[in-house]
Amino acid sequence: MIHFVIGGAVILTATAVSWLYNQKTKDELERQAQAYSERDDILGKYNNLSEQDYDSYNAKRREQASAYMSLLFRELEIHASKVQPIVNSYNELFEIIQSEINAETTSPYRKSALKREYAKLEDAKIRVVEYAKYLEHERTTISELWVKQHYDWLMKRNIPDALLPLEWLYLGKLLIVDLSDMNKPLEGSRHTLTFNGFSGDAEKQQALALRYGKEFPILVVKSQGSRFFGCVAKGIAFHDYIRLNRPLEIVVERFVSGKQQYLCSYFDGLGSASLPTQNLIHTSLRCIPGQRLEVYFDSFDATLAHDPFGIRTDGKKLPPPLLSEKAPSVVGYDALELYIEIDDNNLVKISAESSFFDTETYWSFLSFELNDYSIRLAKGHVELECELTETLDGLRVKNVFIHKQPQIGTDLPFEFILITAELNGSDLFGWKYGIEQLLNFVSQLTISSSLAFERAKQIEFFKRWQHVVEYQRRQESERSVDFECIPIINQDKNTHYQLKIDNSIIQAATVNDSSVYSFMSDIENAQFIYSCRLFIWDEFQTKYIPAIEQKRLNRASYFLEQGNVFIDAPLFSYQKFDFKKANKFRLTITKPNAALQRQQQALDAFFEDRLIEPRLKEIFLAPNAYAADMIAKWWDFNIDWSSQLTESQMHAVKTALSAKHIAMIQGPPGTGKTTVIVEMLYQTLKDNPRQRILVVSQQNTAVDNAIAKFKEKHPNLVSKDVNVVRVGNLDKIADEIIEDHFDTIFEQFIESCLTQSLNKVNSIEDAKLDALYEWRALLTQIKESRGQHKVSDEFFTTMLMDKNIIGATCVGLAARKAGIDHLSFDVAIVDEAGRATVPELLIPLLRSKKAILIGDHHQLPPSIAPVLREDSAKEEMSFLEETFLEHSFFEMLFEQLPKACTAQLTEQFRMADPIGNLVARLFYSKDGENRLTNGSKDPLNTSDFAEQDCLIWVDVWGRQQKPQGTTSFENEAEAKAIQIYLINLSNRFTRKIDVAVITPYGAQKRLIRKLLQPYGTGQIINVGTLSIKVDTVDSFQGSEAELVCYSTVRTHGSLQFILDKKRLNVACSRAKENLIFFGNKRHLESQYADGKNLYPDIIKSAELYAWKNSKITKVVIKPLEHGAAAQ
């Protein structure tokens, strides 16, 4: 049983718990009563002394005063002895809470519960520290009165309180006062309370206090000696809104783009806080300055000054408190209300004054027993042990436990109604589905909490991806050059200096054919703003430090001329630098890379729990612990299929529809993944047309095919209920989707606005006519720009708001950052998910309530940028090969998630039977059983094929070589064999077909394209009726062709690269009719790599041909005569 309690192993003493609630313990109350009794006895003796004998009178007064002083000191010592243990326990508790909140492995629901209690705990911690000061103040005052023999004053001192007195002020203290309490010393502490702020703000505070009423709340926010400054605005915020869990009206001041937050104010600017865009209910709508919103405080400290869990700016100051438009009790998207039945015997155990009955006290989950389904819930310091009712539609209380300390467990996305046993809870509030969801949720939390090690490993996996993206960004988006020069002062601007970087120095610092100069040229051509940083070498610190002050960065100018870079900048006036002499400088240029920046932001959002559906993070951190959460309606429902599907396709669609949070479908080549996606879209939107679905893939063709086939198959649904938009590069999408492209929709919108404005010309008032003309001129300018006009992020998002289906590639989605950030999706369908990197997958999944991932981990893993394959990358990131190049995230999830939320497509319809059989046997068989079968039941007819033999091996005796300046290989003989074969085929073959020429090596691709250059230079080369595309195997994944020619290239040396099973699978599974290998049979047959060489099997399955004398001829193997020996 996993039991979540406050601070894990920290058990607060009764005194510490009482201190938390600002209450005295039973022992303290009894001891204080005893002390006051002793005091009354001493005071009675003191007051009854006779003044007849002056010397005797003074001696007796001193005696009684001494007795009382001893009593006071005794009480002070007793109280002082409790301070340090309380401080120690709170420090330990704070350390644990901070570490648990900051730990990436902590559940978002747990973090929510801990954050909510932080301010209360912080107040208790501040009070105990101030209490020590109070005790010391009392000790000093008593001592002074004794030394000065002010016995009457001494005898009037009260017994030191067990709690901090009301009149003792401290930072974070909330008081109810009236104006007469301000600006005068408080009795007992001599503290003075005044309004915070300069004269203008202080007057605002007083006006706000007067508007509030005779008495008003005020929060102490600053102090200076015995003078304390209070804020009425924050006092009202705490007293009337945070304490009662009510929304507060704030005003948006401005948007901070770097942090994706709005700076907001409340109560006439007296209080300020930040509102992150992800905390808005409608994240797609951009707030404008002056806009009013109702929000809740989300993360704040005792003085409402900071977010205690934020990242310090410049390493010093914490950011302001965080706000949220969403109620703090809601985490995720479930809002289920369930009943808990309690009998009178258990109810009487809970005091009527208990915080258990307060509306501002939250329910939280403590533990779950898998064997008997008993659930422990907490509310304040009350713990309920519950069981399921007989009707399985509610909970019943078995036992009630009253704790001395609050039970902080894990937040629940559920609300509970407490009802007595006399009411029929089942009839009134019973909900079986809600109880099923509760059981799924708590069982998942219980399992996940026991897998801390596995979760930590997964966090490390995601951290590594952060490192990879940062490295890639540095290598691809940053260029630096170190140079030495004597700055020349600018005569026109005596604070500016001119520096020059010679072309020779720039060329010497070139990396991967790009330099500071080329980066700056690219930025200039793209009309971006320079992102430049100039540093100067500091001999004392032995490092480069900024050469320009932050606030003056925009005053620096950069010029390009004939390969040289000129800089005009206001350099820092460091006394330690002599600018009359040569100094070492470094110029660093950052070129915008939207895709990498977006991936970096997606990873940051993942670690900061900024997911639409928090449970997706839980699944990614512990996939093997996920208890499949299914929607029974879909699984039990007899689905009305819209098309003829195979058994495995129907099972895949059912699995995807039934899964509540995640479903994964493995789709081998040709198994109808697009058909399955179309059916998912139809069933989902037919059930609820208002759902928003994101369709994403690695390739444009996959997205376009799915959307085009959906529109073609379901025109009625599209015309009535479905709006489609395609996001991405207009030049790369299919013709039939152009009408749905964002640019097309945008142009139609502008055109309709122009038409409307023209219609209003005759009816509009003269006073408004000028404004209309200006509006028309702007619209005309936008229309004529034809794609050059930059659409604002807000407008882009607004245009997507009413769209049901949004299609994009991973790259397109990454480039269009803000639009996706401001939308939420009910479902994200990611095709070719096995080829997407983790950051690419996170971009759509962060904004989705449910993920459907479709891919094939038996094909190539994600494409890795060339910069990551270099030795320098592997030196810096030794984990690179193991973590990213061998297995995909898709494969890991598919293997570890429960079978209930995974499915496999098992019938292929692309490949002719001989090719399909080969692919199934080599790549999709387990324990001798093929997991992929040929779906077509018709007899194979090859009469229209390019070759009658579907599977051919052409034995070519060529020679591999490396072209100068490359690390890739080419084989001229194989390239010529392919060229001549295709030319001859075009002369005898009249049917139009697609031909793919693929090879593992880029150099061979370039050579074949060069040989075919006389027939065309585009992506598609037309030779007769043949439409030929030449590409690498890696680039051709996801595509298909009637005829595929595969050039193996290698004739000697290691075959590790082309023996890669996943790459070979892609090569073999692209052909629909004919698959022809061109390669050195002997070399490929003889190479064995730990029994993993599949080429002998391929050669054995293929018809053998030979390339000889520039001709391809079939090899006829004559059978041996009876009794003859083999030669």
Instruction: Identify which of 515-519, 764-768, 982-986 has the greatest average pLDDT.
Output: 982-986
Poorest-pLDDT segment among 162-166, 197-201, 341-345, 791-795: 791-795
Considering the domain architecture, whether residues 283 and 379 belong to the same structural domain is answered as no
What pLDDT score was predicted for residue 5? 35
Residue 748 lies in a domain: no
Residue 199: what pLDDT? 65
Q: Which domain holds residue 83?
A: 1-164
Q: Does one domain contain both 562 and 476?
A: yes
Do 304 and 373 share a structural domain?
Answer: no
Query: Is the distance from CB of 448 to CB of 622 less than 8 angstroms?
Result: yes
- Mean pLDDT in residue range 744-755: 79
- Considering the domain architecture, whether residues 954 and 1086 belong to the same structural domain is answered as yes
Same domain, 844 and 706: yes
With 80 as the cut, is the pLDDT of residue 16 above it?
no
What is the predicted pLDDT for the residue at 53? 64
Residues 888 and 949 in one domain: no
> Cβ neighbours of residue 758 under 8 Å, at least 6 residues apart?
776
Asked if residue 10 is part of any domain, the answer here is yes
Looking at residue 901, the DSSP 8-state letter turns out to be G
Strand residue runs (E) in 138-285: 174-178, 192-195, 215-224, 227-231, 248-256, 261-266, 271-276
Please state, in angstroms and as integers, the Cα–Cα distance from residue 1030 to each residue in 958, 1033, 1055, following that order.
20, 10, 22
SS3 letters for 617-671?
Answer: HHHHHCHHHCCCCECHHHHHCCCCCCCCCCHHHHHHHHHHHHECCEEEEECCCCC
Question: 452-477 and 838-845 are packed helices; what angle lies between their axes, rounded to 10 degrees?
Answer: 100
> Are 574 and 631 found together in one domain?
no
Asked if residue 601 is part of any domain, the answer here is no
* 1061, 1089: one domain: yes
Question: Residue 271 sits in a domain of what CATH number?
Answer: 2.40.50
- Record the tokens describing residue 24, joined without a space: 């005295």
Strands 805-809, 724-726: parallel, antiparallel or unpaired by DSSP?
Answer: parallel
Do 958 and 1101 reside in the same domain of the chain?
yes
pLDDT at 253 over 90: yes
| Confidence band, pLDDT 50/70/90 cuts, at residue 10 | very low
Q: Is the pLDDT of residue 783 over 90?
A: no
Q: Tell which of 417, 449, 481 closes a domain.
A: 449
Q: In sequence order, what are the residues at sequence separation of 6 or more whose Cβ sits closer than 8 angstroms to the Cβ of residue 32?
A: 24, 159, 161, 162
Number of Cβ within 10 Å of residue 187's Cβ equals 9
User: Among the listed ranges 390-394, 401-405, 627-631, 765-769, which one has the minimum average pLDDT value?
Assistant: 765-769
Residue 759 contacts by C-beta under 8 Å, 6 or more apart in sequence?
none
Q: Of the given ranges (12-21, 24-33, 359-368, 796-805), which has the lowest mean pLDDT?
A: 12-21
- Which has the closest alpha carbon to 1040: 1031, 1049, 1051? 1031
Alpha carbon 459 to its chain centroid, in Å, reads: 13
Instruction: Name the β-bridge partners of 364.
Output: 378, 411
Residue at 528: amino acid letter: F
Whether residue 90 is found in the same domain as residue 151: yes
Rg of the chain, C-alpha, whole Å = 38
Count of domains forming the chain: 6
Mind listing the pLDDT tens digit for each residue in 965-1004? 788 999 999 999 999 999 999 999 999 999 999 999 999 9
Residue that is last in its domain, among 881, 905, 929: 905
For 1027-1055, write each residue's pLDDT tens digit.
999 999 988 888 899 999 999 999 988 77
Q: Which of 16-30, 199-213, 646-660, 856-870 has the highest mean pLDDT?
A: 646-660
Domain membership flag for residue 552: yes
183: left (phi over 0), alpha (psi -120 to 50) or beta: left
Determine contact, residues 709/680, Cβ cutoff 8 Å. no
The answer to whether residue 132 sits within a structural domain is yes
Answer whether residue 351 is part of any domain: yes
pLDDT at residue 7 greater than cutoff 50: no
pLDDT exceeds cutoff 70 at 575:
yes
Asked if the structure places residue 739 within a domain, the reply is no
pLDDT value, residue 1049 = 94
186-200, 486-500, 546-560, 973-987: which range is least confident on average?
Answer: 186-200
pLDDT at 1126 over 50: no
Residue 437 is predicted with a pLDDT of: 78
Residue that finishes a domain, picked among 130, 164, 198: 164
Write phi, then psi, for 261 (nearest 5 degrees). -135, 155
Residues 863 and 960 in one domain: no
CATH number for the domain that contains residue 1013: 3.40.50.300
pTM of the predicted protein model: 0.73
Within this chain, do residues 386 and 425 fall inside the same structural domain, yes or no? yes
335 in any annotated domain: no
